[in-house]
A = this chain, B = another copy of it.
């Protein structure tokens, strides 16, 4: 049986300036932090187009950020520059990096969020960002999104900075925060990685490349895997391979995570139907 795999395209590490910039942060939208980050992006890349992936990552929740950048980037064109800032270590010695992978660029702290993106593309390159080496003003010690990541992203999107000029190559990154799926005897064990607005509990379990039938074991319960929400009655709980390619625990017009009592990190097992 083929091992499950993610569907991200792997391509050349060279990118072109698409001027499309995405943002994925835990800044929230309550305060003007995102707006000021955009001020810097548009100052340095006046024709850039900015897409908010999310600013509602729970504060310091690196796992959800790692999952979502991994899943969402596949929908963006080559050359897109992604800025990912969930950074409890801002101001510490953690490195700032830019990664060319999957024909796109990913910028953020080297804290495990972007490691999966890097390791999954054999031709990926990571480079360390040293603000002073790029002629950037001395950054504040608390807002590197604005002072480091945004200026570099804007220059790459604008084309005024080539990826090779970002800084020295980095051979390896921090350990990935997105856990690997464990395979054992036709059974895959993953976990809940994030819960979405609708209460769907999204897991890191990709769809097996097989026609065999599967079921799901979670918190002592057995759930069947269905094709779509509409196949089930309102209030029923089930599993479904969601629109981003991984298994989700869902409840028709209800909040599956609350109903099941699962949270980020809850183990989820995908196994052949008994």
A: residues with CB less than 8 A from B are: 20, 22, 24, 27-36, 38-40, 42-43, 49, 51-56, 59-60, 68, 71-72, 75-77, 88-92, 140-143, 146-147, 194, 196-198, 227-231, 240, 242-243, 253
B228 touching A141 by the CB < 8 A rule?
yes
Taking A42-B20, A228-B90, A230-B92 as contacts, is the C-beta distance between A196 and B76 under 8 angstroms?
no
A54 touching B42 by the CB < 8 A rule?
no
B196 touching A36 by the CB < 8 A rule?
no
Taking A88-B253, A90-B228 as contacts, is the C-beta distance between A72 and B141 under 8 angstroms?
no
A142 touching B196 by the CB < 8 A rule?
no
Chain B residue with the shortest CB-CB distance to A60: B253
Q: Which of B51, B52, B194, B243 contacts A147, CB < 8 Å? A: B243
A31 touching B243 by the CB < 8 A rule?
no
Q: Which of B76, B196, B240 contacts A30, CB < 8 Å? A: B196
Instruction: Give complex CA distance A7, B237 in Å.
Output: 44
Taking A29-B56, A56-B29, A228-B90 as contacts, is the C-beta distance between A75 and B242 under 8 angstroms?
no
Q: Report A229 CB to chain B, min CB distance, Å.
A: 6
Contacts of A32 in B (CB 8 A): 24, 53-54, 68, 71-72
Instruction: Give complex CA distance A89, B230 in Å.
Output: 6
Chain B residue with the shortest CB-CB distance to A194: B31
Instruction: Give complex CA distance A38, B53 in Å.
Output: 9
A59 touching B198 by the CB < 8 A rule?
yes
B31 touching A29 by the CB < 8 A rule?
no
B40 touching A75 by the CB < 8 A rule?
yes
Contacts of A91 in B (CB 8 A): 227-231
Taking A29-B29, A141-B227 as contacts, is the C-beta distance between A72 and B35 under 8 angstroms?
yes
Instruction: Give complex CA distance A72, B77 in Å.
Output: 31
Contacts of A147 in B (CB 8 A): 243
Chain B residue with the shortest CB-CB distance to A93: B230
Contacts of A36 in B (CB 8 A): 53, 72, 75
Contacts of A194 in B (CB 8 A): 31
Contacts of A88 in B (CB 8 A): 229, 253
Chain B residue with the shortest CB-CB distance to A59: B198
Question: Which of A141, A227, A240 has the most C-beta atoms of chain B within 10 angstroms of its own C-beta?
Answer: A141
